[in-house]
């Protein structure tokens, strides 16, 4: 158990809908990262938050948004869902934000299926 909790584990929704994925980082970790992994693909970095502020942005679509709350949990919002958004969405956390804090701990992921 990495200590990172993601809910829900599975989500099935229709095209055009909006969903929210939730992540609770490890106790004491200030950084949260979101990743998308499509079937048999690598991990695509979406976005990073550090202590409530956006820190780095990757290949995140405009239809997607995220935030980190004062209690450090984070939510990833996906809207106007398309079939191609079906993927495994991982959240990871680490202690800090700099390159010296590179060990990130991953949650078990949320498997999103868009039908």
Partner 1 sequence: GQSLEQPSEVTAVEGAIVQINCTYQTSGFYGLSWYQQHDGGAPTFLSYNGLDGLEETGRFSSFLSRSDSYGYLLLQELQMKDSASYFCAVYSGGYQKVTFGTGTKLQVIP
User: Smallest distance, Å, CB 57 to partner 1?
Assistant: 8
Could you tell me how far CA 65 lies from the centroid of its own chain?
10
28 binds partner 1 (CB under 8 A): no
Half-sphere exposure (CA, 13 Å, Cβ side) for 87? 20
97 binds partner 1 (CB under 8 A): yes
Binding string to partner 1 for residues 44 to 83, with x set by CB under 8 A, is what? Answer: xx--x------xx-x-------------------------
Looking at the DSSP bridge assignments, the partners of residue 76 are 21, 66
Whether the CB-CB separation of 46 and 63 falls below 8 Å is answered with no
107 binds partner 1 (CB under 8 A): yes
List of residues 6+ apart from 19 with CB closer than 8 A: 11, 13, 77, 78, 81, 112
99 binds partner 1 (CB under 8 A): yes
25 binds partner 1 (CB under 8 A): no
14 binds partner 1 (CB under 8 A): no
Nearer to partner 1, 15 or 59 (CB): 59
């Amino acid at each position: 158990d990495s200590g990172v909790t993601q809910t829900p584990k599975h989500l099935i929704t229709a095209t055009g809908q909006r969903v929210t994925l939730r992540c609770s980082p490890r106790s004491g970790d200030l950084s949260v990262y979101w990743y998308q992994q499509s079937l048999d693909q690598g991990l695509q970095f979406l976005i990073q938050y550090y202590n409530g502020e956006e820190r780095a942005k990757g290949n995140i679509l405009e239809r997607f948004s995220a935030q980190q709350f004062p209690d450090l949990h984070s939510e990833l919002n996906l809207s106007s869902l398309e079939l191609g958004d079906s993927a495994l969405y991982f959240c990871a956390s680490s202690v800090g934000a700099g390159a010296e804090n590179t060990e990130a701990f991953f949650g078990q992921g949320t498997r999103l299926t868009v039908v």
